[in-house]
Structure 1
Amino acid sequence: MGVCSVSRACCLLLLLLLFLTVRPLSALPSELSLAAIPATTLAHAPGHQPHGPNPHHHHHHLLAPGPSPLYAPAHAPAEHHHHHNVHAPAPAPGPYVAHGPTKAPVHTPSHAPVHTPSQAPAVPRMSRSFIAVQGVVYCKSCKYPGVDTLLGATPLLEAEVKLQCNSSRRPVVVSAKTDKNGYFFVKAPKTVTTYAFHKCKVSLVSSPSSSACKKPSDLHGGLCGATLRPEKHFVANKLPFVLFSVGPLAFEPQCPR
């Protein structure tokens, strides 16, 4: 009950205050229009108010808008432009074109290189000189009879060889004997020169009677005739010569069974 009485008293007090506030405004002369009263006068209460506690009014006072400026600002505020780099859109992909299967490359068979037959090396042309021939004669070992080898062979002393040149109608024959090292050296007659050396050959003739090697072998052409191989040029008795080599040549041994 006490709370209700207090509430009623407060309501009556508020009504009284509102009445006192509105009454002075109505007492103003009628010729004064509300439009002539500044907004600030309406917003504030008159100065003659009864002395009493100032209640707290929850009135939201609306302020009149201020006068608009007479002149526009001289310079408009500069706008801040953000330059965004606009990229052109990527071109749209073209229409798909179907390609047929690619053909495998056709390789034509390559022709084998044609090799021309190699020619025999040309014999070096030599100036006209006289002919001299050298070589060695061996006695073969009984370990290898009938075999074309000189394993175990020993030099044969006083074995006879001959140089035969068929460069004319009548063959020219010159013979020589070996020394203790089986070495021999023979000169062709002055009628035979290097222009016809390919028609000259050396062959075995005989061995000494004291030797066990009696039968000539055909090692390096000892029977049918050994071919001359040019070695070097030299001068003897102020005459030009070309030294040729043959062999080595050998006799077969007579071995006990």
Structure 2
Amino acid sequence: MNISIQNLLILLLFPLLLSAYEESKNHKEFTVVEGMVYCQSCEHTGSWSLEGAKPLASAKVGIACKDHKKRVWFYKAIQTDHTGYYYAPIQGMEGTEGVKKKEISGCSIHLLASSDSTCNLLTNINLGIAGAGVGDGKKVMKEKGYEVVVYAAPPLAFRQVNCVPADH
């Protein structure tokens, strides 16, 4: 029996290739959007500055994802924790092919409500009213059998109710 080196390599590498194929077939990918919500300081009312802003606990943001025909295929309202941070998994992007830029680019985050009655006026800082894009910045966390792709949304902010306008 005459076995070529090429066939011998295939026979030796076949178990490794099969294992890698099975692992990739069972590989799950999850997409998450994270971000912060703040209460803008009175000194910067009317600007997009977040200098001196305080994290806003229990604020609500909405995350909407649209397809190429502008149809909403995912929507979720999420509440910030005590530090003003939110972490929102997006269902519908799971798969074995990975997250495509065009899919995440159809998602936007917007302000919904503040739990603080002294800081509950909407601002359009980073398009908080119009809908902030998720952006290209992402981090990937990998574990055996799955990976989590986390996109960082820009910070959003409410403004205070009783700010005295500054004299310019």
TM over 0.5: yes
- Over the aligned positions, Cα root-mean-square deviation in angstroms equals 2.4
> 1:224 corresponds to which residue?
130
Q: How many residue pairs end up in the alignment?
A: 129
Matches within 5 A, 1:31-70: none
Kindly indicate whether structure 1 or structure 2 has the higher relative contact order, using CA contacts under 8 Å at least 6 residues apart: 2
Matched residue type, 1:182: G
Structure 2 spans left out of the alignment, 5+ residues: 1-27
| 1:158 and 2:70 matched | no
Task: Say if 1:132 and 1:243, in contact at 8 Å, map to a contact too.
Answer: yes
Instruction: Identify the residue that residue 44 of structure 1 maps to in structure 2.
Output: none
- CA-to-aligned-CA distance 1:57-107 (integer Å, 9 cap, x gap): xxxxxxxxxxxxxxxxxxxxxxxxxxxxxxxxxxxxxxxxxxxxxxxxxxx
Structure 1 distance, partners of 2:120, 2:33, is 23
Tell me the distance in 1 between the aligned counterparts of 2:113 and 2:39: 12
How far apart in 2 are the matches of 1:221 and 1:179? 21
- Bigger-Rg structure (1/2): 1
- Identical aligned pairs, as a percentage? 28
Task: Give the alignment of 1:147-226 within 5 angstroms.
Answer: 147-167=47-67, 169-189=71-91, 191-193=92-94, 194-195=99-100, 196-208=103-115, 210-226=116-132
TM-score by length of 2: 0.68
Determine helix, strand or coil for the equivalent of 2:93.
coil
1:180/1:200 Cα in 2 relative to 1: closer, same or farther (>3 Å)? same
Query: In the TM superposition, what are the counterparts of 1:1-257 in structure 2 within 5 Å?
Result: 129-167=29-67, 169-189=71-91, 191-193=92-94, 194-195=99-100, 196-208=103-115, 210-229=116-135, 230-235=137-142, 238-255=145-162, 257=164
In structure 1, stretches of 5+ residues that fail to align are: 1-127
Higher strand share: 2
The TM-score, its normalising length taken from structure 1, stands at 0.46
SS of residue paired to 2:157 = strand
Q: Could you tell me how far 1:197 is from its partner in structure 2?
A: 0.8
Give the deviation of 1:239 after TM superposition.
Answer: 3.0
**Contact 2:34–2:85 under 8 Å retained in 1:** yes
Conserved in 2, the CA contact under 8 Å of 1:158 and 1:182?
yes
